[in-house]
Amino acid sequence: MVLSMLLVVTGCASDPLALKIVGAPEALNHGKLNASIDAQPISELPGGGMLYATDRAPVVANENGFYGGGRSQALRVGLAKLEVGDSDLTWEKAREISILKNKAAHYPLRVTGVEEFGALDRRAPLTEDGVNDEAGAGRARFAKAINDRLDQSPQKDVFIYVHGYKVVFENPVLVSSELWHFLGYEGAFIAFSWPSTPRSTAYFGDIDAAAGMARNLRELIEFVETSTNAERIHILGYSAGTRMVARAMEQIALINRGRETDPKRLGHKLENVMLVSSDIDRDVFAAYLADGILGSQRHLVIYGSQRDRALQVSSAVTGHKRLGSMMTSSELTPAFRRLLIDNRDRISYINVSNAEDIALDNGHGYFRSSPWVSGDILMKLAYRLPPEERGLVRDPATGILSFPPDYLQRMAAIQSVAFAAQCSNQSATLPKAPGCDAKPLPSSSKN
């Protein structure tokens, strides 16, 4: 019974080696995100590719790809090269195709090669890792690659994406390239690929890996903080990957006990940590809160949906409700209500159940399929805006945020105010602010 349920409604990806380009985030349709680099071919990522960190073991001779589903005690880092089915395809054209719902033309992104720099960390004693990097050359190259990207950007932020269960190494690399594009290639983006496998039957092994390998994510955070010029670090965790993210945040909270006011404490550059479609046991997350997880980053953002069928299956299989399944009013305890209200500057709990396209497929991949949710995530990452300035509304009785029925009108009004402030009182002798002559982008249409 358990196996059949997993096979019916689970998963975080379809084609394991390719990624279909999704529609534009609503924030891009309303001019809130940078579309100026849309004419650039997709395959021409700044810096020659996407940075990655992985604790997967390299593939063996009879396997496809670059890293497999086996675990490695070494955290390997490097650069992944990408290509698209049409080598001349630009992001602008891909966005137009998505907006027009022209699903007959899929342009899959693919990883065509990797350049491994070396290992960040290899101190675990139980297994051999096969990495020969005693001089730390990999650390130096990775730090330089991050700093080179930061030097080209006014935004000195590093973004880390942590994927869900049942995907191969390539998936987070491809998703990260898409997210980085919509962020206007600001800062530096790192795809963190942990050892999951593209099989529904691997669910329990994958969730063990997601929680058990959290130490490696913590090591990556510490490396970025201490070895690069990053000013802020943002983490986006998805599905089973949120187990790793939340566990790492708990570890940071425990390490920092007694050092909460130390400006150089571990995680002092952590800005936004996002848990999307979270497959964490709610009771486990409650324990993390008790351990002080809210102090590990400046803002913790949780996106939840009552229409996520994959998490409904996970709850049935494990016997425990998941954090990403939006709580009903009867499930919301007085203590959690008070926490959300009293700590609104530290935690956001966002109900996405009524967002556009929220229930596509099994309702689990909405952070890419829903233009409202993807736009909200990107606006928070790009501008660190509070919820009300992203068009959300807060229930004063519970502290829960949501997308209101007039969300699109709110987004248009927010854009109008920002546009007027940006473009008013322009000197005749000075160039106009960027975007003042731009025409509004078309909104996504329904077929």
145-194 confidence digits (pLDDT tens): 999 999 999 999 999 999 988 888 988 998 898 889 888 899 999 999 99
Query: Per-residue pLDDT averaged across 340-360, rounded?
Result: 95
pLDDT at residue 136 tops 50: yes
Residue 97: predicted pLDDT = 46
Number of domains comprising the chain: 1
The pTM is what?
0.85
Range of the domain at 385: 2-423
* Within-domain flag for 438: no
Strand duo 347-351 + 401-402: pairing: parallel
> So what's the pLDDT on residue 128?
57
**Between 446 and 248, the higher pLDDT residue:** 248
Q: How far apart are CA 190 and CA 415, in angstroms?
A: 30
**Is residue 83 very low, low, confident or very high in pLDDT (cuts 50, 70, 90)?**
confident
Across 27-41, 145-159, 186-200, 269-283, least confident range = 27-41
Predicted confidence at residue 346, as pLDDT, reads 98
Question: Can you give the pLDDT at residue 435?
Answer: 44
pLDDT in tens, 337-347: 999 999 999 99
CB count in 10 Å sphere of residue 306: 17
Residue 435 forms part of a structural domain? no
In this model, does residue 100 exceed pLDDT 60? Answer: no
Q: Report if residue 146 sits inside a domain.
A: yes
In a domain, 434, yes or no: no
Q: What is the structure's pLDDT at 64?
A: 79
Residue 418's pLDDT is: 54
More confident residue, 266 or 428: 266
Decide if pLDDT at 112 tops 60: yes
Report the alpha-carbon distance of residue 91 to residue 22 in Å, rounded: 11
Average pLDDT estimate for 229-233? 98
pLDDT for position 39? 59
What is the model's pLDDT at position 10? 43
Give the chain's mean pLDDT.
81
